[in-house]
Amino acid sequence: MSKLSPFPRPAAPEAASSLNLSHRLRRNRKAEWSRRLVRENVLTTNDLIWPLFVVEGESGRHPVASMPGVERLTIGEVVKEAERAAALDIPALALFPYTDPALRDPTGSESLNSRNLVNRAVREIKRAVPEIGVITDVALDPYTSHGHDGVMDGDRILNDETVALLARQAVLQAEAGSDVIAPSDMMDGRVGAIRAALDAAGFQDVQIMAYAAKYASAFYGPFRDAIGTSATLIGDKRTYQMDPANTHEAMREVALDLEEGADMIMVKPGMPYLDIVQRVKETFAVPTFAYQVSGEYAMIQGAANNGWIDGERAMMESLLAFKRAGADGVLTYFAPRVAEQLKKARA
């Protein structure tokens, strides 16, 4: 004999009556064709910039342990990837060097070598794939023995002395064939100095994409592994990179870089700073880019490799978020995979 439940049995549901709704937003979501018609933001290959790490050597690919699927590439392999990027309709590459530790010194003098790793890579890319855009990083941290973006006096970064070196570095990159100079150092006044130096050297058409709002972020760790500065960095970069707590300061940084001659600006990191991307775009209405940095990539890829998330969907969704916030393009290590997916979707 069953015991009587102390809880009353729920009544059978009554037949649902129609709601008197004038607006049913689900109507536009009812089918794929309809969702495509009303879609507000679309990701295309035109939105992609592919960062590549360059290393010395005759040939070879060297995995970056903290960035699954990303490798340091010798110049020959970089050229192959440039050809692949062009075939996938990716507009531009961004190059970052892993400099031989023996060539690093306190002033980053290897940055002023016209035959350094990046400059040779640019020349080879432009020889093989002249139609693809090449963006080069202007900063001293890949070349300094202390891992900072500037010249140091004790534990202090010297702003003006650093800017003088950055301007010379930018001209050498332009001479090698770089299409876009991207200063990532966050020194005051460097955009104006670089613009003046480029113009004086006859490179009026070389663009500047300024890392205008670059934050002192915890999301850069894998990148520092990739360029070899994790082990060398002394202290931190909070005296020149921005405080993650600040938004109004980012607007001042962007305004100054534009006033000094920047053609495009960048926010870095990406997804944790989508509010900055949106505010910059709405305020200035200039070409605005974001960098989906190494830590963002590693989190998505690491979780996908462990089966915790659908990596392909998370990849596409994360990049669409940049477009929704107003970014005109994204630097992302996912670029070739995204381009391949978009190509399949068009087929």
Q: Any idea which residues carry the catalytic annotation?
A: 214, 268
Structure tokens at 90: 């990716």
- In sequence order, what are the residues at sequence separation of 6 or more whose Cβ sits closer than 8 angstroms to the Cβ of residue 106? 144, 145, 146, 151, 152
Residue of 159, 244, 226 lying closest to 193 (CA atoms) = 159
Q: How far apart are the first and last CA of the chain?
A: 66
The structure tokens 């930018």 sit at 170
- HSE of 106, CA atoms in CB hemisphere, 13 A: 8
Compute the distance between CA of residue 293 and CA of residue 189 in angstroms, rounded to an integer.
24
DSSP 3-state assignment of 167?
A: helix
Number of CB atoms found within 10 A of residue 161's CB: 14
Residue of 169, 165, 189, 193 lying closest to 253 (CA atoms) = 189
- In sequence order, what are the residues at sequence separation of 6 or more whose Cβ sits closer than 8 angstroms to the Cβ of residue 53? 64, 70, 71, 72, 73, 96, 97, 98, 226, 227
Looking at the DSSP bridge assignments, the partners of residue 23 are: none
DSSP 3-state assignment of 317?
A: helix
Beta strands in the chain (DSSP E): 48-55, 61-63, 71-73, 92-98, 133-138, 151-153, 156-158, 180-183, 207-214, 264-268, 288-291, 329-331
Structure tokens at 2: 């069953």
In degrees, to the nearest 5, what angle opens at C-alpha 230 toward C-alphas 122 and 139?
40
Please give the full DSSP string across 163-182, using - where no structure is assigned: HHHHHHHHHHHHHHT-SEEE
Residue of 343, 346, 347, 345 lying closest to 85 (CA atoms) = 343
